[in-house]
Each structure stands twice: as C-alpha cells, then as structure tokens.
Amino acid sequence: MPILRSLPLLQHRTACLVGCLRKMQRWSLLSIFDEYQRFAAAKARVSDQRFMELFDASSLKRNAFATREVGLVKTKLVAILEERAN
C-alpha cells in the first residue's frame, strides 16, 4: 500500500510512522528498512531504524481490536513519536 510522504519538516517522524505502519502490516524489517533507505537516502538515521525495529505493533493491534477504535492506534503512535522527539 503506497503512502505519500510530503512533510519535509517532519520527515523523520513521518518515516517512523510509516515504518511502524508497515510493521503492523506484517512487512519484514528488511523490507521496511529498504523502503526507509530509498526515501531517506543521505538523511537516514540509525535511531529511526532502531525505533522501528523495537516498535511493538502487536500491543497497538490488541488495543485497537479490544476497543474497536482504530483512531486510538493513531493517537497512541503519534504520542509515542512525540515523546521520542522530546
């Protein structure tokens, strides 16, 4: 599923968000990192890849299905990324 990334000022957060979404879609880490490298190129960060690697998609999926609110997943993921930025 292609996702347009057009937020230059938030590109690292966007890249992490997309990587986490890919993990929720059950992409392999190799595929996630390959996509990340293609778009991040020289601006790629090891810390971004580490964050995507350690991201626990299963906990968000359980919460989303338990509450039946997909918006909750987005809210929690954005909160995690904002916390990471601070």
pLDDT digits (tens, 9 = 90+) for 39-70: 887 888 898 899 889 988 777 666 555 555 55
Tell which residue, 72, 53, 54, 52, has the closest CA to residue 62.
Answer: 72
Q: How far apart are the first and last CA of the chain?
A: 30
Give me the pLDDT at residue 66, please.
54
pLDDT over 80 at 30, yes or no: yes
Residue 40's pLDDT is 82
- Tell me: pLDDT of 28 over 80: yes
Alpha-carbon span 72 to 86, nearest angstrom: 21
Could you say which of 3.40.50.10860, 3.90.190.10, 3.40.50.300, 2.60.40.350 is the CATH number of the domain covering 8-85? 3.90.190.10
Angle at 66 between CA 61 and CA 67, to 5 degrees: 105
As a whole number, mean pLDDT of residues 4-8 equals 53
Which two tokens mark 67? Answer: 């509450």
